[in-house]
């Protein structure tokens, strides 16, 4: 069933309108050819007069006229089924014909759902050795994307790929030669990816000893067994740092109250705030280190774990290996529960940091560091929650 799309003209005939909408889909039941899953914020599309959805249609049309084959475009990323559909395609023979096309804007990076989409899709694609299935379009300027070493996990995922620069093109008339040429180039890029064998194949975890030095299934489980206690310790450290930050902040609030009672005025408040900034420096630095460690460690082992879970689901391991894996997965469940609580507490800290950052220049850099660290933890949690979802499916 085709979803409604915004037309470029109010007097567009019904027949022409049906043609324009023919590639916009809600489900993949009959989409056996190449498919692009459009990841964007609907508010961005509204603010830009529907141009993002129209770009999706234009690329699909350019692809079809260039190749003779349909490119199905799925834009309903607010639906739960949206994620289930691209997962199903990646687990089928349609793997190398399934693309995620994120429309990168400042709002995109602030959207937890969009961040979750790109992290999860990237994890699955990486486990299959198909990193080129993510085709970012830099739609509105995001300064971090041009930095040499961005700290943001999602920005890192995007910057590692050859993103398409649409920052000036989005201001062009959609019928202009420059705009149409750029759309055609994007369609040709999709065509080249489909015609080129992947640079690397899927991650292969042997189920028995081989002549190579490649770790086997049980070796991978042993690595996970070591990692679990480390994650637990990291989660506990988050709690300790959070307690320290809360204590120092509450003490500062008391001092502010006392200063106001003495008639200290704004000068008194400034002294207390500057003193708080000095007190928070060490715990914020620790929080930043923990956030970076949490995210990087999970990113390192994420593709392998997804591959292990997939192998169990497809019956590619021995009974002994499956029993060992399920025992480890049971331990993982406990870490997930603890991590969820830590994330909830850290999200509260992040919201408080936003408020404090607006009121003090001395505190602003520290509060920004807190928000960055918390975002790293949330992004890491996205990977863990995907493991939990896949493990639940095994049950």
Residue 260, Cβ neighbours under 10 Å: how many? 13
pLDDT of res. 180: 96
pLDDT of res. 170: 94
Q: Describe the strand order of the beta sheet including 72-74 as a list of residue ranges.
A: 24-25, 72-74, 35-39, 98-104, 137-138, 164-165
Q: Return the structure tokens found at 253.
A: 């609030």
The CATH architecture that domain 14-195 belongs to is 3-Layer(aba) Sandwich (3.40)
- The 10 Å CB-count burial string (b at 16+, else e) for 46-60 is eebeebbbbbbbbbb
Q: What is the largest CA-CA distance in the chain?
A: 79
Domain ranges of the chain: 14-195, 217-394
Q: What are the pLDDT tens digits along the chain (395 aa)?
A: 334 444 333 343 333 333 334 455 544 445 677 888 899 999 999 999 999 999 999 999 999 999 998 988 888 766 657 777 787 777 776 677 888 999 999 999 999 989 998 998 888 888 887 778 899 999 999 998 888 888 888 998 898 888 999 999 999 999 999 999 999 999 999 998 888 766 656 666 766 544 455 557 777 777 777 877 887 788 888 888 888 888 888 888 898 889 888 888 888 888 888 888 898 899 999 999 988 888 888 887 888 888 888 888 888 888 888 888 888 888 888 778 888 888 888 888 788 777 776 767 888 888 888 888 888 888 888 888 888 888 888 87
pLDDT of res. 13: 37
**Under CATH, which number does the domain 217-394 receive?**
1.20.1050
pLDDT of res. 18: 30
pLDDT of res. 139: 97
Residue 26's closest CA among 45, 43, 8, 2? 2
Distance CA 121, CA 116 (A): 8
- C-beta of residue 171 within 8 angstroms of C-beta of residue 277: no
């Amino acid at each position: 069933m085709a979803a409604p799309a915004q037309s470029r003209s109010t007097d567009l005939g019904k027949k022409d309108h049906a043609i324009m909408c023919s590639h916009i889909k809600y489900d993949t039941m009959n989409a056996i050819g190449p498919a692009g899953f459009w990841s964007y914020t609907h508010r961005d599309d509204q603010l830009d007069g529907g141009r993002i959805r129209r770009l999706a249609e234009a690329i699909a049309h350019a692809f079809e006229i260039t190749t003779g084959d349909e490119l199905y475009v799925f834009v309903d990323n607010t639906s739960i089924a949206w994620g289930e559909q691209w997962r199903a395609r990646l687990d089928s023979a349609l793997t190398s014909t399934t693309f995620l096309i994120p429309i990168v804007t400042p709002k995109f990076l602030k959207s937890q759902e969009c961040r979750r989409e790109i992290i999860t899709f990237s994890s699955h694609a990486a486990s299959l050795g198909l990193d080129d299935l993510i085709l970012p379009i830099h739609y509105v300027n995001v300064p971090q994307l041009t930095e040499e070493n961005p700290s943001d996990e999602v920005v890192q995922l995007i910057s590692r790929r050859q993103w398409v620069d649409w920052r000036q093109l989005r201001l062009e008339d959609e019928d202009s030669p420059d705009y149409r040429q750029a759309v055609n180039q994007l369609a040709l890029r999709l065509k080249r990816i489909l015609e080129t064998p992947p640079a690397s194949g899927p991650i292969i975890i042997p189920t028995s000893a081989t002549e190579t030095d490649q770790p086997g299934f049980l070796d991978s489980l042993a690595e996970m067994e070591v990692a679990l206690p480390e994650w637990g310790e990291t989660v506990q450290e988050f709690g300790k740092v959070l307690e320290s930050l809360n204590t120092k902040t509450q003490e500062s609030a008391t001092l502010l109250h006392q200063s106001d009672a003495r008639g200290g005025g704004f000068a008194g408040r400034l002294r207390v705030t500057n003193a708080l900034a000095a007190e928070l420096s060490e715990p914020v630095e620790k929080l930043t280190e923990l956030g970076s460690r949490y995210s990087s460690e999970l990113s390192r082992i994420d593709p392998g774990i997804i591959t292990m879970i997939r192998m169990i689901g497809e019956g590619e391991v021995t009974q002994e290996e499956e029993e060992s894996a399920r025992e480890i997965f049971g331990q993982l469940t406990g870490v997930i529960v603890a991590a969820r609580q830590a994330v909830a507490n850290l999200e509260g800290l992040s919201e408080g940091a936003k408020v404090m950052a607006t009121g003090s220049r001395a505190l602003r850099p520290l509060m920004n560091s807190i928000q960055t660290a918390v975002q790293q933890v949330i992004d890491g949690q996205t990977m863990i929650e995907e493991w939990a979802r896949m493990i639940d499916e095994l049950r």
